[in-house]
Amino acid sequence: MHAQENPDEIALVDNKVEDDFYEALKQRNIENYDKAIVAIQKCLEKEPKNAAFLYELGKNQLDLKNYVDAEISFKKAIEVDAKQRWYWNGLYDIYYQTKDYQKSIPVVQKLIEFDPNMKEDLVSLYMNTNQHDKALELLKNMEATSRLTSTMEYYKLKIQEANGFAKPQKETLEEAIKKNPKVEQNYIDLIVLYSSLNQEDKAFEVAKQLEKEIPNSDWAHVSLVKFHLNNNDGTNGSKSMFKVLGNDKIDLKIKHRIFNEFLIFAVKNPEYFTAIDNAIPYFDNDKQINVAKEVAKFFWKKNDLDKTAYYFEKAIKKDAEDIESIDYYLEVLTQKQDFQLLVKKAEGFSELYPTQASYYFYAGSGYNQLKNFKKAKEILENGLDFVVENKTLETNFYKQLIISCENLNDTAKKQLYSNKLKQIK
């Protein structure tokens, strides 16, 4: 006859494991990963096949960058229970942090079963391991069911631009168009391919064919824009441009190229600047480039101060915290000698950014030009306190203050600022 187990002893064992587990969680929350590991290892001594304990151990080892130990722990957890997404995620975190893209691939393929959005990660991994054929195949699979994100569109373009894909893909696409002339995607891929190889004439021929077969396709207009502009047809060129800009599936890089082509055309044909103004808001969601700012710089290089100021105003409306655009704008107003607007804008900016010394300088120099020397002196002296380790700006402040004081007959202050100017020189 076997001795009966004492229920109280069993409870004590279970409670001890539970206490150790909560101790591990507590230590992890305060980032004492070493202590958390000690506590969870006590749990594993009692229950070595507990997947949750193994996962918790792996997380702490990963936080300590003990990648080898963490990999072992996550793999053990998966052996016990492969249906838990988080165990696979833990393994992916290791390979991602250590840039082991080859090992990441089968893990992400498994994670796609839990979350189809992980296909984007798999495309990135294929790109990082130069498996462009697999990346392109997956991208086409994704495109058949949903719209590609801008990053995925970029990868697709990058693959198609690779010379290794040019010849066989060209022939494949041409054959596909013959067989199925109503499938838009084949035309799109061929247009992009020809454009990447600078074969604009061939791209245009495909675009014309696309327009004929599928008249409502926006992609036909990617090549038609340049064709219309080359024919000096700004009206149809702008119509095609807006078709492209309004299509969310067309890559941002292509949109920028088309906008730039139209901008160059508009410089020679100023009546189309309205189209430029109307096109800029299409780029409002572009996190990388403030298009209005780039247009302003374009006109500054051409010494067209009116248009430069106009587009810097648009740039500042889009991003009111773009200090560089504000500085450029105030400098342009100075060069234009529009001193009334200069003092108004500079004072407004100095209220928004009270520690930005240059705004006080522009306001003060503007008031000097308007012969309001008292106001100029007051603003310049206020702004001087914010000049930090900028000898050029400090020199300009003293020069303007000398002008103000001289016209106010403030001999003492004029001498003070003259001495300070000599010290800098």
Q: Is 256 a member of any domain?
A: no
Last residue of a domain, one of 73, 99, 125: 99
Measured distance CA(124)–CA(147) in Å, rounded: 17
Last residue of a domain, one of 99, 125, 150: 99
Q: Is 261 a member of any domain?
A: no
Task: Identify the pLDDT of residue 148.
Answer: 77
Domain that holds residue 92: 1-99
Cα of 97 vs its chain's centroid, Å: 22
Q: Is 47 a member of any domain?
A: yes
Q: Is 244 a member of any domain?
A: no
The single residue listed with the structure tokens 């002339």 is 181
Residue 76 maps to which CATH number?
A: 1.25.40.10
* pLDDT of the chain, 425 residues: tens digit per residue: 333 333 333 333 456 778 888 888 888 888 888 999 999 898 888 888 898 899 999 999 999 988 899 999 999 999 998 888 999 999 999 998 888 888 999 999 999 998 888 999 999 999 888 888 888 889 888 877 777 787 888 888 777 666 455 555 788 888 889 988 888 888 888 887 776 676 767 877 888 888 888 877 888 788 788 888 888 999 999 999 999 898 887 777 788 888 988 999 998 999 999 999 999 998 888 877 889 999 998 889 888 999 999 999 999 998 888 899 999 999 999 999 999 999 999 999 999 999 999 999 999 999 999 999 999 999 999 999 899 888 999 999 999 999 999 999 999 999 999 999 998 87
Last residue of a domain, one of 84, 99, 114: 99
In the chain, the number of structural domains is 2
